[in-house]
Chains A and B, each alone.
Chain A
Amino acid sequence: EIVLTQSPGTLSLSPGERATLSCRASQSVSSSYLAWYQQKPGQVPRLLIYDASSRDTGIPDRFSGSGSGTDFTLTISRLEPEDFAVYYCQLYGTSLTFGGGTKVEIK
């Protein structure tokens, strides 16, 4: 079973700064079947990115995804106050696995 490792565990940044979140797979992921979700306290996760780099409907273009194989990245170009949350990557296709999450907190 493929394991997804997210880093860092916590990212402390200020509004307006760029956030770079990493998701590494223990084996190569075929067809870039990787998604990113945002979860705020007390809320259900929200789908941001699927197929590694496609933004879901209504997701601002400051969110972008990239990567292939074993290394994937979620980038938030300029953090808005509402972007401080926990972010999860998720593998789909033949396997369903979540990463452990990265918390983006206000510095």
Chain B
Amino acid sequence: QLQLQESGPGLVKPSETLSLTCTVSGGSISSNHYYWGWVRQPPGRGLEWIARIYYSGSTYYNPSLESRVTISVDTSKNQFSLKLNSVTAADTAVYSCARVRSGCCVDIWGQGTMVTVSS
């Protein structure tokens, strides 16, 4: 069964760059049927799409975050990554990686990782 696991620092200083990696196990990231993405959820609040990527490298970014976000994929490692720069306290959230069915929606989620932005 395919699983997703996020990794990265749980604490980032304001103005610095948040970097997370999602490792895909139990299946290949190089599938024609799926995209791979990142979603975040601030404490006590709703879900927010950050970005999505296809194994070939084509991307979609949330317009409200696009200027600060980069998503990338490494097929050799079966991983994809997120970088969010110039972070503020408003970026404090649980960050989850996700598998997205092509032409549809998220069907598998990582467990999520809490990232706090604080000095």
Interfacial residues, chain A to chain B (CB-CB below 8 A): 1, 33, 35, 37, 39, 44-45, 47, 50-51, 56, 88, 90, 92-93, 96-101
Contacts and interface: CB of A to CB of B under 8 A. Distances in A.
Contacts, number: 52
B46 A99 contact: yes
A101 B109 contact: no
Given A44-B96, A44-B111, A96-B60, A35 B46 contact: no
Contacts of A44: 96, 109-112
- Chain A binding surface SS class: loop
Contacts of A35: 104-106
Interface of B: 37, 39, 46-49, 52, 60, 62-64, 96, 100-101, 103-107, 109-112
25 contacts: A1-B63, A33-B103, A35-B104, A37-B105, A37-B106, A39-B47, A44-B96, A44-B111, A45-B47, A45-B109, A47-B105, A47-B107, A50-B105, A51-B104, A56-B107, A88-B47, A90-B47, A93-B103, A96-B37, A96-B60, A96-B62, A98-B47, A98-B49, A99-B46, A101-B47
Contacts of A45: 47, 106, 109
B68 to A, nearest CB: 16
